[in-house]
């Protein structure tokens, strides 16, 4: 039998240093499809191709054809009850930090403060040649003004966003911060991640190896289900709202 939101509330209440690790399933209730669920992005495009550094470098038009509409789609949605519950858990001291694989800024918009975005974020334009940063608005303006739909830096090189692409290194400072939290954590709460993407999924194993507990809340299976102390299935927004209520915050 599956565990209940009250079981998760109990673990959070007992923990001294709990952290959350979130993935694309956090944001499906906001209307952003995840990659691997039925109807997810993977059924139409292979993100490892259209979201790769090599396509960005060799076929920037194809790269921007995929990414330009996603910027509008993400700008048009709002944080959902799951994001608000995670922010409430941090405000009440039940969570120390939120490590997210998401790039959609919805945790920040819901009020999460100690937020570690390990795959970067859709917050700016960036030039890989001269390392300039531009606002996302200016990047979009340049994309829309360009005949081929590719925004370009002053130096002439094509711009990408602040999102880490497949084939690109993860931001070292974010990975270090996530690693430091995992070493100290006595509870890691995974929400909406298939735990299929390395190296972030190794955080779950690190916490358990260090004597901490693992709680997982996702609709689908993960390779770490057998070592979870609490395993919740179902919609993140519904389940986390019940957790917040059970804790009386």
Q: Give me the active site residues, please.
A: 119
Query: Cβ of residue 129: shortest distance to ligand NAD, in angstroms?
Result: 25
242 near ligand NAD (CB under 6 A): no
CA distances from 124 to 71, 113, 172, 219 (A): 11, 19, 18, 31
- Candidate list 11, 18, 20, 37; residue touching ligand NAD; CB under 6 A: 37
Q: Are 99 and 22 in contact (CB under 8 A)?
A: yes
CA distances from 147 to 71, 72, 86, 152 (A): 18, 19, 42, 11
196 near ligand NAD (CB under 6 A): yes
Tell me which DSSP letter residue 225 carries. Answer: G
52 near ligand NAD (CB under 6 A): no
Q: Which of residues 101-140 bind ligand NAD (CB under 6 A)?
A: 101-104, 119
Nearest residue (beta carbon) to ligand NAD = 25
Q: Report the DSSP pairing between strands 120-127 and 133-135.
A: antiparallel
23 near ligand NAD (CB under 6 A): yes
168 near ligand NAD (CB under 6 A): no
Task: Name which of 79 and 192 has its Cβ closer to ligand NAD.
Answer: 192
Q: Which residues, listed in sequence order, are joined to residue 152 by a DSSP beta bridge?
A: 158
Query: Cβ of residue 165: shortest distance to ligand NAD, in angstroms?
Result: 11
How far apart CA 164 and CA 150 sit, in angstroms, is 18
The maximal CA–CA distance of the chain, rounded, in angstroms, is 59
Residues that bind ligand NAD (CB under 6 A): 23-25, 27-29, 32, 34-37, 40-41, 101-104, 119, 192-194, 196-197, 218-220, 235-236
């Amino acid at each position: 039998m599956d565990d209940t939101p009250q079981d998760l509330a109990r673990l959070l209440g007992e923990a001294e240093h709990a952290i959350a690790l979130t993935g694309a399933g956090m944001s499906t209730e906001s209307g952003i499809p995840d990659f691997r669920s039925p109807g997810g992005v993977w059924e139409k495009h292979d993100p490892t191709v259209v979201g790769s550094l090599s396509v960005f470098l060799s076929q920037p038009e194809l790269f921007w054809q995929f990414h330009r509409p996603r910027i509008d789609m993400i700008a048009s949605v709002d944080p959902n009850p799951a994001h608000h519950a995670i922010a409430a858990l941090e405000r009440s001291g039940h969570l120390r930090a939120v490590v997210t694989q998401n790039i959609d800024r919805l945790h920040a918009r819901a009020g999460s403060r100690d937020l570690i975005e390990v795959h970067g974020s859709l917050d700016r334009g960036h030039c890989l040649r001269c390392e300039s940063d531009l606002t996302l608005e200016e990047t979009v303006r340049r994309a829309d003004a360009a005949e081929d739909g590719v925004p370009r830096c002053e130096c002439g090189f094509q711009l990408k966003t602040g999102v880490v692409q497949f084939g690109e290194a993860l931001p070292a400072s974010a990975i270090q911060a996530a690693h430091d939290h995992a070493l100290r954590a006595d509870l890691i709460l995974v929400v909406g991640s298939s735990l299929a993407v390395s190296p972030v999924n190794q955080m779950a194993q690190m916490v358990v190896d260090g004597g901490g507990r693992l709680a997982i809340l996702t609709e689908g299976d993960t390779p770490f289900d057998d070592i979870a102390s609490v395993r919740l299935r179902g919609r993140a927004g519904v389940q986390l709202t019940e957790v917040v209520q059970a804790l009386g915050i």
